Amino acid sequence: MVRVMAHITTSVEYGIHCLLFLVGNDKAMSSRDLAELQGISPSFLAKIFPKLEKAGIVAASEGVRGGYRLAREPDEISFLDIVDAIEGRKPLFDCQEVRGRCAVFGEAKPKWATAGICGIHAAMIRAERAMRDSLASVTLASIASDFGKVAPASFFEDVGGWMGDRLSGRTARMPRPDKAAPP
């Protein structure tokens, strides 16, 4: 059985972008609105947000004006939290112990070739630790701050207006007069 190296998927990238739109936003945003804001599939994003909710990164509210809000302060949410919530904690490298399969060894693998941790595996473990440490040091707040320094104020006004239009268009579903509920 051949296994491939795990990697961070586009789900993480889209998830982080969506979470950035929740930073500083006092209104709940639906996953559909967040998807449409970014031009991605609502069904794709609808699979990401329950994972973020389960991890305590977002909180959901129901109803016509329901949606998601950050469940913690942005400076308490690291990129590692987000990656682990969406992808699960998967190893970067899955060692297959190739070192013991050398044709020269035949059936009798020498102990010197297979004793201890494989050097390649050890290097990959160090790389994974470095990556996880780096992701743990980056918070949603720090990236939002950096983005806020680059994007013009008009962008934030446009996004706020777009979301405001979406929210004001939502109304409670009222029964039609000709379809009144029975007494």
pTM, whole model, 2 decimals? 0.79
Which pLDDT belongs to residue 179? 45
E strand residue ranges, 55-118 = 58-61, 67-70
Of the candidates 58, 60, 57, 92, the one whose C-alpha atom is nearest the C-alpha of residue 78 is 57
Label residue 174 by pLDDT band (50, 70, 90).
very low
Q: Mean pLDDT for the chain?
A: 85
Residue 129: which pLDDT band, with cuts at 50, 70 and 90?
A: very high
Residues 6+ apart with CB under 8 A from 169: none
Enter the tokens of residue 166: 């979406």
pLDDT in tens, 58-102: 999 887 667 999 999 999 999 999 999 999 988 777 888 888 888
Examine the pLDDT at 167 and tell me if it is beyond 70: yes
Confidence of residue 153 (pLDDT cuts 50, 70, 90): confident
Closest CA to 79 of 29, 134, 24, 145: 134
Query: Residue 177 has what pLDDT?
Result: 46
Residue 56, phi then psi, degrees to nearest 5: 75, 20
- Per-domain residue ranges for the chain? 10-91+139-170
The answer on pLDDT for 131 being more than 50 is yes
Does domain 10-91+139-170 correspond to CATH entry 1.10.10.10? Answer: yes
Q: Which residue has the tokens 């969406």?
A: 86
Distance CA 54, CA 57 (A): 8
Region 150-177: what's the mean pLDDT?
A: 74
Among the ranges given (4-8, 36-40, 135-139, 142-146), the one the predictor scored with the smallest mean pLDDT: 4-8
Q: CA-CA distance, 155 to 18, in Å (whole number)?
A: 15
Q: What is the pLDDT of residue 169?
A: 72
Q: What integer pLDDT is reported at residue 93 of this predicted model?
A: 79
Q: In the prediction, which pLDDT does 16 show?
A: 96
In this predicted structure, the answer to whether residue 180 has a pLDDT above a threshold of 80 is no
**135: exposed, middle or buried (Cβ count in 10 Å: 0-12, 13-18, 19+):** middle
